[in-house]
Each structure stands twice: as C-alpha cells, then as structure tokens.
Structure 1
Amino acid sequence: MADDVEVLLQMYREQHDQARQLETQRATLSNLIIVIASAALGFTAQHGLETIMLVVTLPMVGLGVYGVLACLKYHERSVLHHRAARLFSCRIEERLPSLLISDDWAELHARQRLRFPKIFKVRLYALWIALHAGIAASGATLSAVVFAHGL
C-alpha cells in the first residue's frame, strides 16, 4: 500500500508542478504584453493620433485578443491539472482515510469563503482576461479615433 501512495503522491506533485509552470508562463506572457502595450501607448501619446499611428494601434488590438485567448487556454490547462491533482488526492485518501484530506479541504474552503465573501467569487483568470481585453479595447478605441479624424 505504501508504494501505491508514493506513486499517487508523485503524480499529485507532478500535476501541481504543471499548474505552477502554466501560471509562470501566463505571468511571463502577460508581463510581455503589458510592456509592449505600454510602449505602444507611450509612442502614440508622443506622436499623436495621425493615420500612420494605425501601425501601432491596430496591432494592440491583436495583442490584447491574443492575451485573452492565451489566458483562457492557460486557465483550461490549469483546471485540468488541478482536477487531476484532486483525483490523486482522493485516491490517496481512499488508501489512508485517517488523513481526512477532503474534510480539511472543505473546511478550509468554507472558512475562506466566509472571510472573503465578495472577492472569493471573483475568478483570477477573469481579472487577467479583463486586463488583456482592456489592452485590445485601448487599441480599438485609438484606432477608431484615428479613423474618425484622419481618413
């Protein structure tokens, strides 16, 4: 039985490591997009909203949309790895029921929900998506202003 638990524990760790790696990749990509969008906004502010600035503002739309799609994909993969880890955790608890893993997790979850009732419902991935959508909207708005004044 100890060997079974050791295998399950290793599989559990692997799933959490994969989820952690995805979060690191998401953070790196988001930081890169934020830096590029900030530079584009700064460049646009310096040079004004002339027709030539569409080469800066239109790619911002694509960059923001790409960020949204990437965050959605990272979230999907993260959910997969967290569910797999939970599955392995349940298998460990089946072999070692005295650990009470599910009971402890449920209690911790309930306490967290009570302590932070409003923010608990907000999904972190939704905040990242909103950030990237804001970048896309900024590019679209600036492009629309350029079109309205220049073309």
Structure 2
Amino acid sequence: MADEVDVLLQMWLNRWEQIRHSEVQRSVTSNMLLVLVGVGLGLIGQKGLGSQLLPVTLGILASGLFGMLLSVKYYERFRFHLSEAAALRAKLDERFPAIELESSRSYLNDDQARNFPLLIKIRLYWLWLAMHAVISLAGASLTVAILF
C-alpha cells in the first residue's frame, strides 16, 4: 500500500515539476523575444523608418506571432499536466478520504474567487497572448508605415 501511495505522490510531484518547467520555458522564450523586439525598435529609432528596415519590422511582426503560438502551446501543455495532476490528486483523495484533498482545494478556489472576483476571470495566458499580439500589431503597423 505504501508503495502505491509513493508512486502516486511521485507522479503528482512530477506533473507539478513539468508545469513549473513549462512556465519557466514560456517566460524565458518571451523574454528573449522581447529583447529581440527591443533591439529592432532601437534600430528603427536610430535609423528612422525606411525601406531598408522592412526586414526588421517583419521580424518584429513574426516575433509577436511566434510568441503568441508559443504561449498557446505552453498553455496546452500546462492544461495537460494539470489534468494529469488533478487525476492523481483524485486517486489520492479516493484512497485517503479523511484528509479531504478535494474539498480543501474546492474551498480554496471558492475563497480565491470571493477575494478576487474580477481577476479570477482573467486567464494568465490571455495576458501573455495580449503582450505578443501588441508586438505583432507594432510590427504590422511599422511595416505598413514603410510600405505606404
């Protein structure tokens, strides 16, 4: 019995490690893209908007689109590992009903919703998507400004 519980706990911890790893990867890649976009904008600021900088503006546009794709993919991985962790937690709750894992989680979720009724509705990945969408719009706007 203890071996089964150890396996469940280890699997549950591994899911959370994977969730953290995905979040770190998302953060690092987003930061790298922001640095590249900053360099591009700095170059545009120095040289002015001209046709020779069209590759830079297209790069900014592409960076934003790529960032959006990465954010969605990392969110998909997050949801997958979260679902796995939830299934493992349910097995632990089923195995040890006295510790009331599921009811504790449910209470904490309800408490969070009471304390932050507006923020609870905003998904974090929407904010990452919005940031990358703004980058894409900036790249598209600068590209249009060069072309027309």
Deviation track 1:4-46 (CA, whole Å, cap 9, x = no partner) reads 1111000000100011100010000000001111111111011
* 3-state SS in 2 of match to 1:117: coil
Deviation track 1:85-127 (CA, whole Å, cap 9, x = no partner) reads 0100110111111010010000000010010111110000010
Q: Which amino acid aligns with 1:63?
A: S
RMSD of the alignment, in Å? 0.7
Q: Which amino acid aligns with 1:30?
A: S
Question: 2: distance between equivalents of 1:71 and 1:41?
Answer: 22
Q: How many residues align?
A: 148
Residue matched to 2:71: 71
Residue matched to 1:37: 37
Question: 1: distance between equivalents of 2:71 and 2:132?
Answer: 9
Deviation track 1:116-143 (CA, whole Å, cap 9, x = no partner) reads 1111100000100111111111000000
Residue matched to 1:85: 85
Query: TM-score scaled by structure 1?
Result: 0.96
Can you give the 5+ residue segments of structure 1 that lack an aligned partner in the other structure? Answer: none
Instruction: List structure 1 segments (4+ residues) > 3 angstroms apart after TM superposition.
Output: none
Query: TM-score scaled by structure 2?
Result: 0.98
Q: Which amino acid aligns with 2:92?
A: I
Can you give the 5+ residue segments of structure 2 that lack an aligned partner in the other structure? Answer: none
Q: Which amino acid aligns with 1:13?
A: L
Question: 2: distance between equivalents of 1:120 and 1:41?
Answer: 34
Identity %: 37
* 3-state SS in 2 of match to 1:78: helix
Question: 2: distance between equivalents of 1:22 and 1:129?
Answer: 16
